[in-house]
Structure 1
Amino acid sequence: MTTDLRPELISPPTRRDWIAILAAILGAFMAILDIQIVNASLKEIQGALSATLEEGSWISSSYLVAEVVVIPLAAWLTVVMSPRRFAVSISGLFVVASLLCSMAWSLESMVVFRVLQGLAGGALIPFAFTLVLTRLPLETRPKGMALFAITATFAPSIGPAMGGWLTEHFGWEYIFYINLIPGALMISGLLYGLDKQPPRWELLRQGDYAGILTMLIGLGCLLVLLEEGYREDWFESVTMRVLALIAFVSLVTFVILQLSRDNHLVNLRLLSERNFLLGSLANIGLGVGLFGTIFILPLYLAQVQAYTPLQIGQVIMWMGLPQLLVIPLVPLLMRHLDARWICACGFTLFATASFLSGRLNLDFAGDQLLAIQIIRAMGQPMILVPLSILATALIPPSQAGSASTLYNILRNIGGALGIALLATLLDSRSSVYYEQLRVHIHPGNPELGERLAILQSQLGSEQAALQALQNQVLQQAQILAYNDAFHFIGGMLAFSVVCILITKALPRS
């Protein structure tokens, strides 16, 4: 079967269309915000629930796994239930799950409630993206994509600061309470903006249940592998090897099923369209950049510079605030400039900021990162809007659900894979650099004797001086490893630049 990839005509959006789109985008914003806002307060939540550090990681992991797994189901469920009924249902579930999270009495209850919250939040993200594709014609779509871009970049940027501030001044429960008012606005906007349509329950009998099952098992095992593999020493663990095998077999089966039947859950044939394929590959690099930066930068500030969660949030915030000024300008630029050049420029700025971050030293902290954060903030809006348009402009609205699914899930998988690779890289490179630096610590080194004498006079004993020196060597090894991690992110973003430059130019409207 060949897929018609010519874009279909869409009538100009009405006021109700815009209200529905804004309500859905608000939902996507809250869904992404809830990832980072919880991470900033994880230590306090773990303490309240009497959970260990390793157990507490499931508070974040359970949400992420549920969020990614539900994305491919969102398009199908939207058709079965009708857009209005589906959107209002998942919005209500998100609000209720948020309230339940604030009332959690144990780790087990919190993980269950976070799974529910992730299922609802994960469905809100592709739904908002699909509304932009189906309700806005190509000439208006950059405005909608600009609004959607705020969810992907601004929400993660303000999440740590907001989470740290709420936890410090009110308590960790308030990071869930803040979803209630936006949730009510979201539901009201969806009820007003979307037309009532009858559900198509008969489609449940025609569902691609084999595809659903293999997708759920495959993605679930893959994400747990990526989230927990580092802690379990990857394939040294029998559990990780089993998860990898199940994920591989399930996902290969899923791909075969989707390509061998017309009644598919996700139309993988969309990847045969050049711009969608290249845009999706660039999107994977973007996922590594977005998620990876949010992962290693707070880790560096906490581990090396001893920053508090609130201080970390204030540094990360500068990655988001300038975007509010830049994002409205991007649709205007796209009227006069080729979207490929805008997107490539954005990726270049983002990559440059990552390479500049790879010059860390003991004196390199929040103040020195300010200019770099602003460069990142300038680049990211120039990526998200043009990249979304480049990837989806030639996709017909009838395929918007599949396009939204593939586009969003590939960015999330890119982010999860990036975090897993970065965590492993930090650990392995720290060990390598530590061994390299230890070579210079020997009795015949005159600089070593001078350094030990200074430390001993400061600390009062030779044993304390030796321990302090060992800590300094370890710290320096960690800094060098962080530099490598930022260089890796820069390399992935450079790969995305290449993908964008070889896409086809879009027809001028």
Structure 2
Amino acid sequence: MAEAGIPEQEIPPPSRRDWIALLSAILGAFMAILDIQIINSSLKDIQGALSATIEEGSWISTSYLVAEIIIIPLAAWLTTIMSPRRFAVTISVLFVIASLLCSMAWNLQSMIIFRAMQGLAGGALIPFAFTLILTKLPPASRPKGMAMFAITATFAPSIGPTIGGWLTENYGWEYIFYINIVPGILMASGLMYGLDKAAPRWDLLRKGDYWGIATMAAGLGCLQVFLEEGHREDWFESSSMLTLAVISFISLVCFVILQLSKPDPLVNLRLLKERNFLFGSLANIGLGVGLYGTVFVLPVYLAQIQDYNALQIGQVIMWMGFPQLLIIPMVPILMKFVDARLICATGFFLFAFASFFSGSLNLDFAGDQFIAIQIFRAFGQPMVLVPMSILATAMIPPSQAGSASSLYNILRNLGGAIGIAALATILDSRAKHYYEILRENITPGNAAFTERMDLLTAQLGNEHSAFQMLSNQVHQQASIMAFNDAFHLIAIMLGFSMVFVLLTKAIPKPVAAKPATADETSAEPAHP
């Protein structure tokens, strides 16, 4: 087994077929991440159509995320067994079929099952695309591939609510699943054309690390459910949440022990000994908090405080998305002249600054006031993801691309899940805290309180209605203060990520790849 930091055989320049395979895989990763966010703006409509409560409907999202986080570490192993081409086409077709089934779901149970199928297929597409970039592109071309992958990780979450809100408002919630059909067909066709045929290695099933798979699936699955549902169940006050936490902890500890004790593990955790991959992965956790936390907190604020509908929320969030399409292509060019660490740290600074400034909310701070902040985020996010991916994987040999991809992507997803769970708890607990503080000033001896009550009583006609409205206003102010705290937490996590990036080593200067000979052009390079 090759260790991190030890170079392997030189990767030849990518052919046209390689680029088609890469673009197809990246399209699949884009659709997979888009499907995480796009459903959130349509959840109320889907719950109504399936006669589900809010608590029951949350499983529509949770089932997708649980399946996704379980399949990510298995993707590299399944790719080796089935062959890259067979695996990629299979999951692409499964993704399209699952999307169609979701649009035809007849009750909540069927929707949860079909969303889990969709999560299994979509989750496998994300590390597969990342692995292809590491194995198909030489170091000199890798920034271009990472720039395209950045579109999936940063642009897809930004436009998901916009597309979902528009489709639901104009056509119905079923169309958020229909839009996967055409890209899914293109994706499967491109992967079938771009990847070489290879014989499957079914014999590896007999050597599978099934204890590792079982402990990993139990640990990550229970952890994801715990993080998604814990806030609604009051965390450790719920016996079911406590049970999930214990199972997750024991399973993941066993998984780590098993992986470190095997010469050929399912996921090579020893890659974290490599300095750049360790600090890049830690920074990636903070990025997950920033990416998914922002897309969680901002829509909740606009809906609860400003009374925005799904389409209006999407129009605000898209200002974080569309400018990135202009910025992402420029990042690989900038990396030729500027140290990747400085570019990445600057991106984290811009992202953190935008999040910190978002923590200055008041009742008049609505969609228009967020436009400048969203543009700052749009500048920061591509400057983070492209160089950070290169920094983290610069010393990882191609043979370890599968493990590196699994670890790197799963840590970002876990960062997002942990961040959302923490932010949801902060919004609830801090709102109660601030309400108690503000309520202390609502006393008959307070001149401001008396003046406000007199004004509201004159407007509403009776003192009871006036007091009820004042209580609502105090609750609203307490919630706004809690949202400020949530944005400040996101900024702090991004600040830590900026420090981690600065602790990495500089990327070695790539050696220009030799032009492909006629023989090399006719023979496709080996695939992961």
TM-score band, normalised by the shorter chain?
A: over 0.9
Q: Which residue of 1 aligns with 2:402?
A: 401
Q: 1:323·1:377 contact (CA, 8 Å) conserved in 2?
A: yes
Q: Distance in 2 between matches of 1:172 and 1:7?
A: 49
Q: Which residue of 2 aligns with 1:93?
A: 94
Q: Which residue of 1 aligns with 2:247?
A: 246
Q: Distance in 2 between matches of 1:463 and 1:415?
A: 44
Q: 1:7·1:393 contact (CA, 8 Å) conserved in 2?
A: no
Q: Which runs of 4+ in 1 moved over 6 A?
A: none
Structure 1 vs Structure 2 CA RMSD: 0.8
Q: Which residue of 1 aligns with 2:523?
A: none
Q: Distance in 2 between matches of 1:93 and 1:38?
A: 19
Q: Which residue of 2 aligns with 1:18?
A: 19
Alpha-carbon deviation of 1:2?
7.7
Q: Which residue of 2 aligns with 1:342?
A: 343
Q: Does 1:63 align with 2:53?
A: no
Question: Deviations 1:384-408 (Å, cap 9, x if unpaired)?
Answer: 0000000001100000000000000
What percentage of residue pairs aligned between the two structures are identical? 73
Alpha-carbon deviation of 1:458?
1.4
Corresponding residue pairs, total:
509
Q: Does 1:316 align with 2:331?
A: no
Alpha-carbon deviation of 1:36?
0.8
Normalised by the size of structure 2, how large is the TM-score? Answer: 0.96
Which amino acid letter does the alignment assign opposite residue 3 of structure 1? E
Q: Which residue of 2 aligns with 1:218?
A: 219
Question: Deviations 1:455-482 (Å, cap 9, x if unpaired)?
Answer: 1111121111000000000000000000
Q: Distance in 1 between matches of 2:350 and 2:409?
A: 22
Q: Which residue of 2 aligns with 1:277?
A: 278
Q: Which residue of 1 aligns with 2:7?
A: 7
Q: Distance in 1 between matches of 2:402 and 2:334?
A: 28
Alignment of 1:357-396 (within 5 A): 357-396=358-397
Question: Deviations 1:23-82 (Å, cap 9, x if unpaired)?
Answer: 000000000001111111000000000000010000011101111111000000000000
Q: 2:17·2:194 contact (CA, 8 Å) conserved in 1?
A: yes
Alignment of 1:465-480 (within 5 A): 465-480=466-481
Structure 1 unaligned spans of 5+: none
Alpha-carbon deviation of 1:157?
0.6
Question: Deviations 1:122-161 (Å, cap 9, x if unpaired)?
Answer: 0000000000000000000000000000000111111101
Which amino acid letter does the alignment assign opposite residue 39 of structure 1? N
Partner secondary structure for residue 39 of structure 2 = helix
Q: Distance in 2 between matches of 1:289 and 1:2?
A: 33
Question: Deviations 1:287-343 (Å, cap 9, x if unpaired)?
Answer: 000010000000000000000000000000011000000000000000111100000
Q: Which residue of 2 aligns with 1:327?
A: 328
Which amino acid letter does the alignment assign opposite residue 184 of structure 1? I
Alpha-carbon deviation of 1:4?
4.6
Partner secondary structure for residue 322 of structure 2 = coil
Q: Which residue of 2 aligns with 1:82?
A: 83
Alpha-carbon deviation of 1:450?
1.0
Alpha-carbon deviation of 1:447?
1.1
Which amino acid letter does the alignment assign opposite residue 393 of structure 1? A
Alpha-carbon deviation of 1:444?
0.4
Q: Distance in 1 between matches of 2:93 and 2:459?
A: 60
Which amino acid letter does the alignment assign opposite residue 408 of structure 1? N
Which amino acid letter does the alignment assign opposite residue 472 of structure 1? Q
Q: Distance in 1 between matches of 2:36 and 2:160?
A: 8
Structure 1 residues 391, 4: closer, same or farther in 2, change over 3 A?
closer
Q: Which residue of 1 aligns with 2:234?
A: 233
Q: Distance in 2 between matches of 1:508 and 1:98?
A: 43
Normalised by the size of structure 1, how large is the TM-score? Answer: 0.99
Q: 2:215·2:255 contact (CA, 8 Å) conserved in 1?
A: yes
Q: Which residue of 1 aligns with 2:202?
A: 201
